[in-house]
Amino acid sequence: MNKLLIAVALVLAAPAAAQAQAGKPVVGGGSFNTAPLLATGTDADTVAAGETVYWKIKLGKGQKLTAKAIVDVSQIETDPSKSDYEPGLDRLDYTMNILTPLREPLGEEYDYRDASSDLEGDDGTGVKTGTAVSPRVLGFEQILQGEFNVAKFPAPGEWYVAVSAADSDSSPAEQPVELPLELDLTVDGAAQASSPDFAKGLATPAPEPTEGPAELTGATTDPGSPAVTILLVAVLALLGGAGLGALAARVLPRT
């Protein structure tokens, strides 16, 4: 009878163990510069108390990112009367943010508030979970046009996902416990090419011509025209004559 109960317990535990190992193991970065590049799918990582973990994913124009995070907090003892209770661990603040290629937290913008999420769950569930959704990525030509006035930059490039287990100001964690984390990334839509007219708008404008004798006289600026050459010589002679006359008035003695 005992063997039968053990067998049933093992069968029931098998799906839970398989779910815990479902994600591909990755190691997130402690900063933007060390964030690993991920593809869509489910990844398994950890987040420590008082730490923020970063990952990145490439998004193109027209695409939209959905990020779901699950943090396993079952190992945290929330009863202060228990011997394994660690102060502060039961007061960690779990959040997830999606950030632009310029490392801007989109959740700060009212129109993009869905790009930030608090990971929530009661103590009985043993997990903290939340979902963040990015705005649809815009092409550079859409962002640079006059109608776009949002103070963020949702452009194509490497976007970031960050999950934090922040300390409480009143009760900081005393132990940097590593908590298992599952991150699921889904991208909606296919990457689109930018408008072909966008590159034309970026062309360097030709320098404005400087004023010279030809511009002063209103003549054309064709250097091969004999009429222009004669006119330039006449203008220079006039200027030279005036200069010589002024010089003569200074040098020659007055009669």
Q: Is residue 97 part of a domain?
A: yes
Q: Is residue 202 part of a domain?
A: no
CATH number for position 169: 2.60.120.380
Judge residue 197's burial from the number of C-beta atoms within 10 Å of its C-beta, 0-12 exposed, 13-18 middle, 19 or more buried. Answer: exposed
Is the pLDDT at 82 greater than 70? The verdict is yes
Is the pLDDT at 21 greater than 90? The verdict is no
Each as own residue / partner, the long-range contacts of residues 23-31 (CB below 8 Å, 24 or more positions apart, any chain) are: 23/182, 23/183, 23/184, 26/55, 28/53, 28/54, 28/55, 28/163, 29/53, 29/54, 29/55, 30/54
Q: Is residue 91 part of a domain?
A: yes
Q: Give the pLDDT score at 5.
A: 40
Q: Is residue 16 part of a domain?
A: no
Tokens 């090419």 belong to residue: 193
More confidently predicted of 183 and 232: 183
Q: Is residue 218 part of a domain?
A: no
Query: Residue 111 is part of which domain span?
Result: 23-193
Domain count, the chain: 1
Average pLDDT across the chain, whole number = 77
Q: Is residue 209 part of a domain?
A: no
d(CA 64, CA 190): 9
Q: Give the pLDDT score at 73.
A: 92
Residue pLDDT, tens place only, 159-212: 999 999 987 766 677 677 899 999 999 999 999 987 766 655 555 555 665 555
How large is the average pLDDT for residues 47-58?
A: 95
Q: Give the pLDDT score at 235.
A: 45
175 Cβ contact partners less than 8 Å away, ≥ 6 residues apart:
49, 86, 89
Q: Write out the two tokens for 234.
A: 């006449």
Phi-psi region of 56 (alpha: psi -120 to 50; beta: other; left: phi over 0): beta
Q: Is residue 75 part of a domain?
A: yes
Is the pLDDT at 35 greater than 80? The verdict is yes
61-65, 83-87, 165-169, 214-218: lowest mean pLDDT where? 214-218
Q: Is residue 131 part of a domain?
A: yes
